Amino acid sequence: MTFTVIGRCGRTGKLGFAQATGTPAIGRRAVRIIPGKAVVVVQAGHNNYLLEVAVELAKAGFGAKRIFDAVTHSDPFSSQRQYMYLGQTGGGVAVTGSDARPWKGHVEGEDFAIAGNVLAGQKVVTDMAAAFRGSSAKELEERLLLALEAGRDAGGQQGGERSAALFVTGANPHPLFDLRVDVALEPTSELRKAYEWYKPLAPYYDDCYQKGIPALYKDHLRSINWPLEPFQDEPK
């Protein structure tokens, strides 16, 4: 009951994902990013143990085939699941099990992969792919969110979505964006709101971490005349 896009930015080296689902609190339960290496996904009945196997193999430098072989051979329900992989180089790879709930399917690209199940139809993933491909001049986090919104606007999940997440890393171990909406009637819209308010904090926190200095985020927001509280127009 999920649709997910994983992507890479060739200009910046960023890796990331955006995801929406009909279940609550999806967060990072179905996706992991190994900064500077890969993104791995186990969805359509996500399983943390299988995901951790995929993570360890990705950390060791194995690619999609070796990872998929390992998780499918140890998973009696592999025909019900979807798997995705995207490395720091090469195209995105996805597998959709024959018994995953319809509509199910995926799209692979040179710097992304998209997969979904229990969707309104194929248009969800094709519109997501078009949105990602058509926004190549933008930052990765924006491209991922645009793709997620395109999937929602194409019908999204049968019965609607209840949670969503956006996660992006750069060259360093810490995330640039780690945003999630755990329970909402319109989680992708709420994720957009959170992203738009948080956006100027991403480079600020990254800079603080690199310099080893305290992150006094309110001082930074005041300095750029940004609202101190989400979804307000004026700083206080």
pLDDT in tens, 9-68: 999 999 999 999 999 999 889 999 999 899 999 999 888 899 999 999 999 999 999 999
Residue 112 sits in the same domain as residue 209: no
- Summarize the confidence of residues 123-139 as an average pLDDT: 98
Domain count, the chain: 2
Residues 185 and 208 in one domain: no
Residue 50, amino acid = L
Cβ 230 vs Cβ 194: under 8 Å? yes
Residue 235: the pLDDT is 47
45 and 130 in one domain? yes
Number of other residues whose CB lies within 10 A of the CB of residue 153: 14
Pair 148, 46 in one domain: yes
Whether residue 231 sits in one domain with residue 160: no
- The residue type at 20: A
Residue type for 188, please? T
> What does the pLDDT look like over 212-227, one tens digit per residue?
999 999 999 999 999 9
What is the residue-averaged pLDDT of the chain?
94
pLDDT band at residue 105, thresholds of 50, 70 and 90? Answer: very high
Q: Is 80 found in the same domain as 130?
A: yes
Per-residue confidence band for 233, with pLDDT thresholds at 50, 70 and 90:
low
Strands of the 31-34 sheet, one edge to the other: 31-34, 38-43, 82-87, 93-96
Find tokens 């750069």 and name the residue.
170
Residue 229 is predicted with a pLDDT of: 86
For residues 88-113, average pLDDT:
96
Domain of 230?
Answer: 201-236
Residues 179 and 207 placed together within one structural domain of the fold: no
pLDDT digits (tens, 9 = 90+) for 146-185: 999 999 999 999 999 999 999 999 988 899 999 999 999 9
- pTM of the predicted structure, to 2 decimals: 0.94
Answer yes or no: do 157 and 231 share one domain.
Answer: no
Residue 230 pLDDT grade (very low, low, confident, very high; cuts 50, 70, 90): confident
27 in the Ramachandran plot: left (φ > 0), alpha (ψ -120 to 50) or beta? Answer: left
Residues 43 and 135 in one domain: yes
Q: Same structural domain for residues 136 and 228?
A: no
Same domain, 158 and 48: yes
* CA dist., res. 170 & res. 178, Å (int): 12
CA distance 231 to 69: 45
* Residue 139, domain CATH: 3.60.20.10
Distance from C-alpha of 119 to C-alpha of 177, rounded to nearest angstrom: 26
Are 144 and 221 within one domain? no
